[in-house]
Amino acid sequence: MGKVIATRFARLVATLLAVTFLTFSMTALLPGDPVNAILGVDAVRDPEVVAKIRADLGLDDPFLVRYVNWLGDAATGDLGRSYITEQEVITTISQRLPVTAQLAFMAIIMALILAIPIGVLGAYKQGKWQDSTTSAGVQVALSIPNFIIGIFLIWLFSVRLGWLPASNWNRISTDGLVENLKTAILPASALAMTQMAIFSRLVRSDMIATLQENYILAARSKGLSDRFILLRHALRPSSLSLMTIIGINFGALLGGTVIIETLFAIPGVGFRLINAINQRDIIVIQGITVFIATAYVVINTIVDLLYAVVDPRIRKR
Amino acid sequence: MRRRGLYRAVAFLAAAGLVAGACGGSDDSAPADTTEESSEEAEAPAEEPADEPADEPAEEPAVEAGDEAEGDVDTEIVEEETAIEYGGSVSVGLEAEATGLRPWEDTCSSPCYNMMVAVYDKLVEQTSSGAYSPNVAESISANEDFTVWTMTLRPGITFHNGVELTAQTIADMFPIQQAGAAGSGAVSAANLVSVEATGDLEVTYTLSQGGSAFPASLARAPLGMVFDPAAAAADSEGYSMAPIGTGPFVIDSRDLDNETTFVRNDNYWATDPDGNALPYLDSISFRPIPDEGTRLDALLSGTINAMQTLRQGTIRDARAARDDDGADITLWEFQGNNLGGGMFNVLVPPFDDVRVRRALVKMGSQEQTIEALGGTGISLPATQWFSPDSPWWSEKVAEAWPQFDFEGGVEILTEYINDPERSDGKAVGESIDVELSCPPDPTLIAAMQVSEQLYTASGLVNVTLTNFDQQTHIGIALGGENGFVGDHKMHCWRWGSDDDPAVSLNPALAPPTAEIAEAAGIPGVVSPLNFPNWFSPTAFQAAVAANQTDDFETRFGLYESIMLEFADQVPVYYSGHTATAIGTDTNVLGLNSWHLPSGELGIGFPAAEGRWAEVFIAS
């Protein structure tokens, strides 16, 4: 296990180096000057102010010097300070991470609640009308981008029915759980639909394979009920691929809810990232990108390690 | 789902999460006209949009003096007749989060100003006629050559932290403004060299050059908004999160990217004309909702009870929701001296030849472009930097501006193409190359395609369309690394504001490079804000002269002469005036009837920037 963790850690470091270098390179290649974003068009008329800001921010240093300086600070946990808001990047992330994490978590849970019964039903009734119907539904959910679902949900539940707010975020700390859930349910649902489709297809295909196994036939010959066999003997071994994809998708959701957060005006990591990109706030872009990459790799490492917990055969290898 | 929902989906897909800004340019404009002439809102026959497809050009009618576009229903600035009521809260959806709330430091645009005017007061404000009138200042006057301005403050005004506002406060603000990212540019633009307290409440501003439009600078955020300099110097970053002003509302909480809430300032100095204490509301909160459709849906669903928009398409959708679906909303519409369009970089061939610029303007159809932008019936075609209901609008200029005349444009372009001395170095008869660039907003892309079709139909133009995000787009035009001449060709941009023309127009007329300034005999006078890089000594001198007199007729004549040169030399082109709006629940009243201390009505809500002190909720 120690060797596995060491290998994973080395891979994490290599990935982060590659990600930071690429992000730094790409932002450096962008035309335009971050100083313009800081000062605004009207204020750039004073070359002395422009020069001072460039010097203060180290923008006159060569690319590699800036990168190495930033990397050195990042290694000590200092991801820098926003050019625009002057807020520390680590603070920016820590304030927004709970929002994005809650959305991602809710989306995954909602997706699983729907996906497992649908997948199991599809496998159990393979080739029958129940399977065809659920497969068609899943196909539709998979085909529609989640922001389209988001727009539809806003129109239906906010504009037409008036049940839920159309935008923004109520915090648990100030507004309470119920109010928080009112603002979380629509964006989480929009995110969950695609996840549900992916998960249910995976559960269905894995379970179809599992149901062909000899020990399932043995269980049936012993007269165990179908429900018991499906949930007790078939679902667990069919969940390895599901776990992998949950890990991958949770990591992706942490950094990939940009569109949904923008659509619903949710103050999460993605919303901040898109604002930073538009404001050419390179330090924030860099910091959030590193965070996303780290989260992605760490979560997948954890998932890999969890295999051993779920499947004793892996532990013995 | 209604059709609007589908449009939103397509638009969102195309924009791919980018905040689709308007076509470049600075939004850093506190609007309104500057003269004491009344602006007249004339009702005129509507203009029919051209129905012809882009490849079948049609004659485009000229705008008549005082015209309004069909459906251009600028909300009248009038006294509110409904009885005021105290209490309640308004939640306003903004198109973006404010990057910060420090007037001297943070680059601001319309969303940010909505918040700032809740917490800060301006020294000077604009009246409904566009004139500048004292606000926190009690009076302001200049010496003969407008180099020294003396301002007297109103007594008894205190900041939210209890600190008294004195002349020394204004003097102490100055070094902070000089060093601030936003303030330094404003100080430089106003030619302001010193601010001194010459009495308990008397402040003296000294300028290096006479500026008759100086009060306009005191009506803008960087120099005009009053802040507590001691608190700002002690904790600048903290000030952004917890601003301290003398305004009608006090900061209560600031949750970045989510919600900023202000509560009533119980010690606010101003009253309404009847002597009632202000503000009327208990609190006001601002929520950034970048997606236009979601912001409108949030209003329609009651998630918020006010929203701003600077988009014609959103105004169109909001009108449809109100008129067709019966939504209980009020649209407070404003179409001022701000317009879309673009510019030619006149230092780059073939745009250095006026024939090419004239030809391209004549071959482009504003009517069809406005239609592509979703502004038909909302936005007027433009001929100058002023809207027809502005006192600065000139009929002469409207007549002089090259109208849509496809064949005429082709003729001019053919002359250039067949000129052996053509500036782009291509062989006689070869098509010109035009790179047209706009930010990646779906409506802007549609508008670009209109131009592309028309130019391509001539068989004389090779068109390349490019799209960069707004910051990059601005950066390309600004340059910086190439001496601020930019790397643009034909570039979408936004022009004008409701400030005094000296604010928006003068910087665009100074020499763009040191070499050009030297050649013109005015060494050292260089403006990075001359984006088209077009320099005319006569236009520049007219702009300088206009800033050295306060006689409206003289100033009008000077700015008219500049606009006439624009019509002749076409360094810029237009795609219609900019309509903006604040949408509210129907029981939210008072946006069009806020007052200055003199009792005059204020400018209203230009650029969807509301003044919230006299807003109330009718039961």
The tens-digit pLDDT sequence of chain A (317 residues) is 677 677 777 877 888 888 888 888 887 776 666 777 676 666 555 667 777 777 777 778 888 888 898 888 888 888 888 878 888 999 999 999 999 999 999 999 999 999 999 998 998 888 899 999 999 999 999 899 989 999 999 999 999 999 999 998 999 999 999 999 999 999 999 999 999 999 999 999 888 888 888 888 888 888 888 888 887 778 877 777 888 888 888 888 887 688 999 999 999 999 999 888 877 788 888 888 888 888 887 887 787 777 766 666 665 55
pLDDT at B69 over 50: no
The answer to whether A167 contacts B100, with C-beta atoms less than 8 Å apart, is no
A33 and A139 within one domain: no
- Beta-carbon contacts of A174 under 8 Å, excluding residues fewer than 6 positions away, are none
Chain B positions touching A265 (Cβ under 8 A) are 257-258, 287-291, 294
A60 and A133 within one domain: no
A23 and A148 within one domain: no
Q: What is the mean pLDDT of residues B157-161?
A: 97
The answer to whether B186 contacts A168, with C-beta atoms less than 8 Å apart, is no
Cα distance from A256 to chain B (closest Cα, Å)?
11
* A26 touches B: beta carbon within 8 Å: no
Residue A32 domain-assigned? yes
> From A40, which residue of chain B is nearest by alpha-carbon distance?
B107
Window from B121-130, B411-420, B554-563 with minimum mean pLDDT: B121-130
For residue B580, the cross-strand partners are B334
pLDDT at B154 over 80: yes
* B478 touches A: beta carbon within 8 Å: yes
A307 and A223 within one domain: yes
Q: What is the mean pLDDT of residues B469-489?
A: 79
Window from B114-118, B385-389, B553-557 with minimum mean pLDDT: B385-389
Write down which residue in A18, A42, A75 finishes a domain: A75
Please give the residue range of the domain that contains residue A63. 2-75
Residue A85 domain-assigned? no
A286 and A255 within one domain: yes
Do the strands B432-438 and B490-495 form a parallel or antiparallel pair, or are they unpaired? parallel
The answer to whether B471 contacts A37, with C-beta atoms less than 8 Å apart, is yes
pLDDT at B377 over 90: no
The answer to whether A155 contacts B297, with C-beta atoms less than 8 Å apart, is yes
Optimal mutation site among B8, B299, B308, B471, interface A, most CBs of chain A within 10 A: B471
pLDDT of residue A41: 62
The answer to whether B8 contacts A45, with C-beta atoms less than 8 Å apart, is no
A99 and A63 within one domain: no
pLDDT, chain B, mean: 87
A224 and A154 within one domain: yes
pLDDT at B33 over 50: no
Cα distance from A268 to chain B (closest Cα, Å)?
8
Give ipTM to 2 decimals.
0.83
Q: Token pair of B63, please?
A: 């705008």
A238 and A202 within one domain: yes
* B8 touches A: beta carbon within 8 Å: yes
pLDDT at B554 over 70: yes
The answer to whether A158 contacts B303, with C-beta atoms less than 8 Å apart, is yes
A151 and A101 within one domain: yes
CA distances to A16, A57, A68, A78 from A21, rounded to whole Å, are: 8, 19, 10, 17
CA–CA distance, B152 with B201 (Å, rounded to integer): 5
* A136 touches B: beta carbon within 8 Å: no
pLDDT at B4 over 60: no
Residue A236 domain-assigned? yes
pLDDT of residue B36: 33
Write down which residue in A75, A103, A129 finishes a domain: A75
* A43 touches B: beta carbon within 8 Å: yes
* Whole-structure pTM value: 0.84
The answer to whether B19 contacts A278, with C-beta atoms less than 8 Å apart, is yes
CA–CA distance, B474 with A152 (Å, rounded to integer): 34
Please report which confidence band the pLDDT of residue B39 belongs to, taking 50, 70 and 90 as the band edges. very low
Candidates B600, B495, B500; CA nearest to B220 is B500
Q: What is the mean pLDDT of residues B149-165?
A: 97
Amino acid type, A252: A
A 10 A CB-CB count for A123 gives 23
pLDDT at B598 over 90: yes
The pLDDT tens digits for B175-213 are 999 988 889 888 988 999 999 999 999 999 999 998 999
A115 and A38 within one domain: no
The answer to whether A166 contacts B12, with C-beta atoms less than 8 Å apart, is no
Please report which confidence band the pLDDT of residue B27 belongs to, taking 50, 70 and 90 as the band edges. very low
For residue B617, the cross-strand partners are B588
Candidates B272, B265, B15, B39; CA nearest to B162 is B265
pLDDT of residue A57: 75
* A95 touches B: beta carbon within 8 Å: yes
Candidates B244, B274, B275; CA nearest to B262 is B244
pLDDT at B3 over 80: no
Q: What is the mean pLDDT of residues B214-229?
A: 96
A126 and A22 within one domain: no
> From A269, which residue of chain B is nearest by alpha-carbon distance?
B257
Window from A43-52, B251-260, B602-611 with minimum mean pLDDT: A43-52
* B516 touches A: beta carbon within 8 Å: no
Chain B positions touching A187 (Cβ under 8 A) are none
Residue A53 domain-assigned? yes
A 10 A CB-CB count for A28 gives 11
The pLDDT tens digits for B300-317 are 999 999 999 988 889 999
Domains of chain A: total: 2
- Beta-carbon contacts of A315 under 8 Å, excluding residues fewer than 6 positions away, are A308, A309
A99 and A69 within one domain: no
Residue A87 domain-assigned? no
- Percent of chain B at pLDDT exceeding 70: 87
Fold of the domain built from segment(s) B38-64+338-577: Dipeptide-binding Protein; domain 3 (3.10.105)
Cα distance from B16 to chain A (closest Cα, Å)?
7
CATH number of the domain that A268 lies in? 1.10.3720.10
